[in-house]
Amino acid sequence: MPRPDRARAGAYGAVMCALAYGSMKLAQALGANALADKDPLPSPLRERLLARDPLFVTSHWVLAGAAVVGVIVALATVRSWGAAVPRRLLLAITWTLGIFMIARSVGVLGFGFVGDALVLTGVRPAPVEQAALARDLARWDLLLWSPFFLLWGSCWTMAGRRLARRGHPAGPA
């Protein structure tokens, strides 16, 4: 029985994560709530997000478009037509996205497993008037967003490993 190709699985995992995230952002751009109230943002930004501030609506459109680009990039790592894209460019994109998403999930960027644990244990207390909301958002981030970004980032790095080891899918293995 042949070994499963983890890099191929990573690329298709990145496609699925990009589709899920892009669908959510498209729904938000079109007016749906779609977990917008669970976004761990500081209070003033959260209020603007929920009030459908034009800046946030625009950002939803941009992120939905970026997700489409992500689908194309992830597929380019495993499909033969991906050989038309410079290998170093694909490597840079996959590794950058993977590292950024894993860092976000761990908490290097403020949110993530570490930041959520600090809020939930009271080591990093939120302002008293927002303590309940901060704990609620930390729970959501700990149970949904951080694992999602860890999975997505891991998929990107697995897809990047394929390129680093084997080159383009259409090229020599």
DSSP string covering 32-96: --TTGGG----HHHHHHHHTT-HHHHHHHHHHHHHHHHHHHHHHHTTSGGGGGS-HHHHHHHHHH
- Domain annotation covers residue 169: no
Q: How far is CA 58 from CA 30, 50, 99, in A?
A: 10, 13, 26
Give the model's pLDDT for residue 110: 72
Does some domain include residue 170?
no
Tokens of 127: 């302002």
- 39 to 21, 34, 45, 148: CA distances (angstroms): 13, 10, 10, 13
pTM of the model: 0.88
The answer to whether position 173 is within a domain reads no
CA distance 73 to 54: 28
CB 105 within 8 A of CB 150: yes
In a domain, 38, yes or no: yes
pLDDT at residue 46 in the model: 86
For the chain, what is the domain count?
A: 1
Report how far residue 116's alpha carbon sits from residue 135's, in angstroms, rounded to the nearest whole number.
8
pLDDT of residue 5: 82
Residue with tokens 């993977």: 98
In-domain check, residue 132: yes
Question: pLDDT of the chain along its 173 residues, tens only?
Answer: 355 688 899 999 999 999 999 999 999 999 998 888 888 888 788 889 999 999 999 999 999 999 999 999 999 999 999 889 999 999 999 999 999 999 999 987 678 999 999 989 989 887 788 888 888 999 999 999 999 999 999 999 999 987 877 655 544 44
Give the range of the structural domain holding residue 149, as residue numbers without chain letter: 6-162
Q: Is 80 part of any domain?
A: yes
Q: Establish if 172 belongs to a structural domain.
A: no
Looking at the domain assignment, is residue 1 inside a domain?
no
Residues 6+ apart with CB under 8 A from 157: 10, 94, 95, 98, 99, 102
Are the C-beta atoms of 97 and 90 separated by less than 8 Å? no
Q: What is the C-alpha separation between 50 and 48, in angstroms, rounded?
A: 6
